[in-house]
């Protein structure tokens, strides 16, 4: 089935560094979402994007909806240890449709 390609698969960074990850697809999505999953928990929605080119922030997190509607990007500035987790992108083709998830980016932050 359709899957989103998420990269990198994992990152090990120093506290204070900025982080960038992306999600690409061969087909168009009209909604892009970013979730974070902490160990032993389910994913939690971080940011939702509804319009091509849209740039949305949530604290130190900024996500962008690619203008081609086939990709999305998530940046985390000045990382801290509690940023550790798996970050998932998800796309939705149209309202009410099921979500398609990427494989996740595992982020590890060294204090």
Partner 1 sequence: NAGVTQTPKFQVLKTGQSMTLQCAQDMNHEYMSWYRQDPGMGLRLIHYSVGAGITDQGEVPNGYNVSRSTTEDFPLRLLSAAPSQTSVYFCASSPRQGRANEKLFFGSGTQLSVL
What does the angle CA 38 – CA 74 – CA 3 come to, to the nearest 5 degrees?
A: 80
When the beta carbons of 60 and 106 are compared against partner 1, the nearer one is: 106
Binding partner 1 by CB under 8 A: which of 25, 63, 72, 104?
A: 104
d(C-alpha 6, C-alpha 24), whole Å: 6
Q: Does 43 bind partner 1 (CB under 8 A)?
A: yes
Q: How far is the CB of 31 from partner 1 (least distance, A)?
A: 6
- Show the binding pattern over residues 66-95: x = contacts partner 1 (CB under 8 A), - = does not: ----------------------x-x-x--x
The CA-atom distances, in angstroms, between 101 and each of 12, 38, 78, 110 are 22, 16, 26, 27
**CB of 31 closer than 8 Å to CB of 49:** yes
Q: Number of residues in contact with partner 1, rule: CB under 8 A?
A: 27
Binding partner 1 by CB under 8 A: which of 41, 59, 82, 111?
A: 41
């Amino acid at each position: 089935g359709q899957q989103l390609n998420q990269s990198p698969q994992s990152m090990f960074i120093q506290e204070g560094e900025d982080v960038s990850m992306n999600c690409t697809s061969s087909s168009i999505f009209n909604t892009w979402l970013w979730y974070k999953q902490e160990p032993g928990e389910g994913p939690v929605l971080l940011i939702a994007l509804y319009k091509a080119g849209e740039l949305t922030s949530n604290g130190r997190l900024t996500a962008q909806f690619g203008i081609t509607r086939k990709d999305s990007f998530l940046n985390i500035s000045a990382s801290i240890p509690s940023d550790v987790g798996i970050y998932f992108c998800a796309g939705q083709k149209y309202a009410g449709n099921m979500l398609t998830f990427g494989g996740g980016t595992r982020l590890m932050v060294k204090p």
